[in-house]
Structure 1
């Protein structure tokens, strides 16, 4: 009895005729001559834009303002054009030319609403508890007028982050750590020399530490210098398997200042303003303000002096809101990419391909280059169109938008195109490994699309959502992130609000690593298995 062993078919064709450019041309010819594949890529681009348009069409922004008028959804803008929060109790005097202001803070206390609910008159269950918020601030400030969003620099003691120097809402530098008490006060100083502001802090008023400097270009000759206190909204977030919900209401901070020393050409009298508090009829407005007893100033403030970020109740849209249809486009691209190889297995044409090109690794590489390039172009067109068209619809419906630097917008669009390309290569490789379209498409959707939907739709609590978008191929969606996480702004910073745990290109790198591993596996199996 004789036993025979089947070996994979190998062509005897000369390798010299098997050039890589010839392979690329051949694979491109295959792709463009199959009408279904070309239509599939066009469909992927259209679906990406269409789903974004459906999302924009299904959203609205409306409410009734005072006396039946429309609400004002505008948000103050900072010197750099970014949306900001600029609310505080401010005691100030005009300062002309160079000068400095020095104070001592002996106390910083606060109150916040129980359960994050807005206290209401006659509601005994809604109470204010004692406690200062971590990013409550009290200190000295030099500001270009009292208009919200005007340029400023400040040195402030915070509730839980020590002394900080901040300027123009987005910049933050740490000073002396720790809290404050009558036995352990904090001395703060801010000096002006032209457009340059320098911040100092001290534990004893004798030995001073330089925190940092800020240059406020275009600062006028006369500015407002003084004391301020503010305290951000207290928010309680409840997590569950179905997502998360938040309750938030204003908190209060009260600071006691003494040893106030204003050097330079200053106005004679102090003036007091409550900035951004919603007016004297706003809830809790009666608690805000200041009182002076001799050389001691007590300020009670509420609000925040910081950049506005998504996820804190703002209706403003980001550039990635226009790209919510990307996941749908990826599904279509995945189907086309898997069929680009599985169709040859199903019809037996893979033998012809490998006969003409016996170097199987090169065949796989050529297919990957062609499908990757076509998918990149598809994603580029889809992302650019979605950003322009969907963004225009959102603006026409009255939604404010977060300003996005041009370079960031380009990175988002190009990064989305790269996401399409790498996903297509991954799908092609899985199709080569499994030889079946259904299995490969299902695997890609489960690995990339499903974790993304679970994370951004807030189906899961914030913790699991962050891990999904850190460890799975869905991390690549971070490449669409345009928003910035600020250390001085307390927010959830979850994928549902557009914040991913990895940096944009690092997130895409996770998907690239998965794709590289599957491509390597596919190359090995393609060489070892019979066609």
Structure 2
């Protein structure tokens, strides 16, 4: 297993696309975090100005710890899901690129246990992406604490809810396994990446357009459950379980797709 992990690490680090995606993720996440902090200041000052004239909203716009991960996830609605979409692209390409250039045949000849190969491939990408996302979450928190004024930032800090800081790495690791599974099933980079982008950014949000029926169906959407675990989903939806069960639901969805990919990869030719 150690040699397989080493081989997959070399494959990942010897190509440029993972490096460029990581750089783009860092720049985008930290840039969006800074922008979000500036917008939070503007919103709070606008609220204060309106309050002095007697136009008071329901409550002032205080920031919480979940704001620190909006840059990583992609600050809705500016770039919805931009951060984790990059992770899914890298994970899918880790499989589909081998199918495209035919190197997967040599890989499977060297290690006949195909499920072990794909598990090692997903584990390497998941570990790197999870560590990067965890670091970005804490750096994003530091940027917000440095930019946002004291009053709107009173609920920011390590003394408050820390779920978002370990929740994002868990979510990122799960989407890596999902992306590797989808790439294994489809084998084509364009098809796998298109599906991984369209599903969370178009198919699931479009369900909201169907009124009450759509809201009832939306709570069963896998990515919507993952976002609720992170505290970024619509809290007014008719949820049937708590946030931790939302994580279990999303993990079960990933496990089903992963099991299907492992079954298919054993049954067909490389």
- For the criterion TM > 0.5, the same-fold answer is yes
| Alignment-derived partner of residue 180 in structure 2 | 428
Note closer, same or farther for the CA distance 1:404–1:384 as it changes in structure 2 (3 Å cut). closer
Larger RCO: 1 or 2 (CA < 8 Å, sep 6+): 2
Aligned to 2:68: 322
Assess if the C-alpha contact under 8 Å between 1:319 and 1:404 holds in 2: yes
**1:452-463 map, 5 Å:** none
For structure 2, the 5+ residue unaligned runs are 74-80
1:333 matched to 2:87? The reply is yes
The structure with more strand, counted as a fraction of residues: 1
Where structure 1 has 5 or more consecutive residues not aligned to the other structure, the ranges are 1-19, 74-281, 284-310, 484-491
Q: Which of residues 483, 508, 513 is equivalent to 2:247?
A: 508
Q: Deviations for 1:59-79, whole angstroms, at most 9, x for unmatched residues?
A: 5133497xxxx5679xxxxxx
Residue 373 of structure 1: aligned partner: 127
Contact 2:63 2:156 in 1 (8 A): no
For the 8 Å contact 1:333–1:424, the answer to whether it is kept is yes
CA displacement, residues 455-476 of structure 1 (integer Å, 9 cap, x when unaligned): 9xx8786874574244333311
2:4 corresponds in structure 1 to 23
Q: For the Cα contact (< 8 Å) 1:23–1:366, is it kept in 2?
A: yes
After superposition, the Cα gap between the structure-2 partners of 1:481 and 1:401, relative to the gap in structure 1 and judged at 3 Å, is farther
Cα distance change, pair 508–395 in 1 and its aligned pair in 2 (3 A): farther
Q: Which has the higher helix share?
A: 2
Task: After superposition, give the CA deviation of every residue in 1:372-423 in whole Å (9 maximum; x if it has no partner).
Answer: 1112112211222222213542336x635436773622x2111011111111
Which residue does the alignment assign to 1:54?
35
RMSD, matched Cα: 3.4
Partner of residue 142, structure 2: 388
Structure 1 residue 494 displacement after superposition: 2.6
Question: d(CA) in 2 for partners of 1:437 and 1:399?
Answer: 44
Q: Is the 8 A contact 2:171 2:226 kept in 1?
A: yes
1:382/1:464 Cα in 2 relative to 1: closer, same or farther (>3 Å)? farther
Contact preservation (8 Å) 1:48, 1:382: yes
Question: Is the alpha carbon distance of 1:508 and 1:319 closer, same or farther for their aligned partners in structure 2, counting shifts above 3 Å?
Answer: same
Matches within 5 A, 1:125-144: none
| Residue 427 of structure 1: how far off its partner (Å) | 0.6
Structure 1 residue 509 displacement after superposition? 1.8
How many residues align structurally?
259
